[in-house]
Structure 1
Amino acid sequence: MATSSTCICGVCDSQHVTNDAQHWCPECEEGLCPNCLIFHKSSKLSRGHGIISIENYKQLPQYIKSIRQHCPDHDRKYQHYCPCHEVPCCPFCITTSHSECKGLQVLEEVVKTSELSSQYEDIQQSLRDIENNIEQIKIDRERNLKSIQEERSEFQNEIKQVRRQINAHLDKLEKQAIENLESTEDRIKHQIAQLLSNLSNSGKEVEDLKNIATSMTNNASDLQRFLGKKQIESDIT
């Protein structure tokens, strides 16, 4: 079982022996020590599994780590993909919850034929576009703030010039006008400040998604990248 700081070898653990894992098998969903890795690569059933280092495994986002190769309801390996629900299915799923679904596909073929590299580039480009849009909006709003301040200053100067030319009644109008200007400025500044704050938060979320997409591209299994892509696309939307 992997933890935030260490991961033990699953094969050794099944034999009541504790050894630190240095590798991770996404398909078997367990860590492997150096000795068990040798047998893992030698076995006909597991020699084709895509092994990654524990360090790379730890760099994966938690929701990518949580993507499993086996159905949690039936404890069977996923073999098919349901395009209607966009989820993988085990043999029992096909006969139960997906018995009426049309067009079920072989999961291995779906993963192989999916153009993951181009799709991830599309995701990265979408994130870059969002990031650029956020930056442009911030620049525009900051320019608006400066313009508002300059306009307020101009209005005040004009009011003061008129005040020197007319009677005391204009003093009262000047005071009222300045109060209205300041009230409007405070309201707009508050709105823009709130927007800038929201944009900063969105920028951070975009940066996190970029890092997640990069980490998946470099470290995740094909299935994890395929399903993880769905989550990122949902977050982008």
Structure 2
Amino acid sequence: MASRGSSIYKGSDLIHDYSCSKCEENDLNTEAQHFCPQCEHYLCDKCVGIHGDYFKKHVVHGRGDFRKWVGYSMDKCDQHDKELEVHCDDHLELCCSVCVALNHRLCSSISHLPDLARGFLKTEEFKQLPAAVDKMRRWLDKLKNDIMKDQASLNDSYKNILVEILALRKTINKVLDRMERKTVQQLDSMMKDLEKSIKDDLETCAHMNDQLKTMTEQLQQITGNNKETNSYIGF
């Protein structure tokens, strides 16, 4: 399985955060854009297509599901794979040392995370976090159900409109024939656009739901001396 490291140049080769496992077997150096948990392989855009042909039932996570990749750590910077150390109060961002050096040198207020996290586990905000997440997930479930109902209604409307168009077709002349064909084409185009929008909304709801569940589980599993700091970072 590919090893993880910072994106730096070594000689003439670029070392990626995640390199494609299959490309490495052929002595190629390609940045991975996908991860298959069943195979435990990191895959580039080219290799993920080949992988999908052989393993159609495997669920592959893209960069948008980075938290599901092996090696993801809550207390590490997503951009630089360094430990999160401070909070930029100007930009409201968690930062590692590289973030500060590159993007926050001129910021007026930088806070040390252990200082911010001190006593955090006893705050009402943290105690109420599971309930707030549950409420958000219930809202997402309701939104998903409403969208699915809208989709069913849209399908019914589409079928009804199509029936009316076909019935009208029997009573009109050649000029109206051309109008009918144009109307059906416009309706089909509208249907495809709406279906795509609905599909995107459903996927977004499911993705956000999974992320909230994963983050909550990670918060509940935090142990060790840095439990308070890591809990604040997760929050």
Normalising by the residue count of structure 1, what TM-score does the alignment of the two structures yield? 0.50
Structure 1, gaps ≥5 residues long: 5-57, 164-169, 230-237
| Distance change in 2, residues 1:188/1:101 (3 Å) | same
RMSD: 4.0
Structure with the larger RCO, 1 or 2 (CA within 8 Å, 6+ apart): 1
| Kept after mapping to 1: 8 A contact 2:74/2:230 | yes
Aligned residues: 155
| Kept after mapping to 2: 8 A contact 1:120/1:217 | no
> In structure 2, what is the equivalent of residue 191 of structure 1?
193
> In structure 2, what is the equivalent of residue 182 of structure 1?
184
Do residues 228 (structure 1) and 234 (structure 2) align? yes
Aligned pairs (5 A) from 1:1-237? 62-64=72-74, 66=76, 83-84=89-90, 85=92, 87=94, 100-101=108-109, 106-114=115-123, 115-160=125-170, 163=171, 170-220=172-222, 221-229=227-235
Post-superposition CA distance 1:129-148 (Å, at most 9, x none): 13321331232133112112
| Kept after mapping to 1: 8 A contact 2:120/2:228 | yes
User: d(CA) in 2 for partners of 1:99 and 1:187?
Assistant: 50
| Kept after mapping to 2: 8 A contact 1:83/1:104 | no
Post-superposition CA distance 1:7-32 (Å, at most 9, x none): xxxxxxxxxxxxxxxxxxxxxxxxxx
Residue 202 of structure 1: CA displacement?
Answer: 0.8
Secondary structure at 1:62 match in 2: coil
> In structure 2, what is the equivalent of residue 166 of structure 1?
none
Q: Structure 1 segments of 4 or more deviating over 6 A? A: 58-61, 102-105
Residue 113 of structure 1: CA displacement?
Answer: 4.2
Normalising by the residue count of structure 2, what TM-score does the alignment of the two structures yield? 0.50
| Kept after mapping to 2: 8 A contact 1:81/1:87 | yes
| Kept after mapping to 2: 8 A contact 1:217/1:225 | yes
| Distance change in 2, residues 1:198/1:59 (3 Å) | closer
Q: Percent identity?
A: 11
Higher helix fraction (1 or 2): 1
| Kept after mapping to 2: 8 A contact 1:60/1:219 | no
Structure 2, gaps ≥5 residues long: 5-67
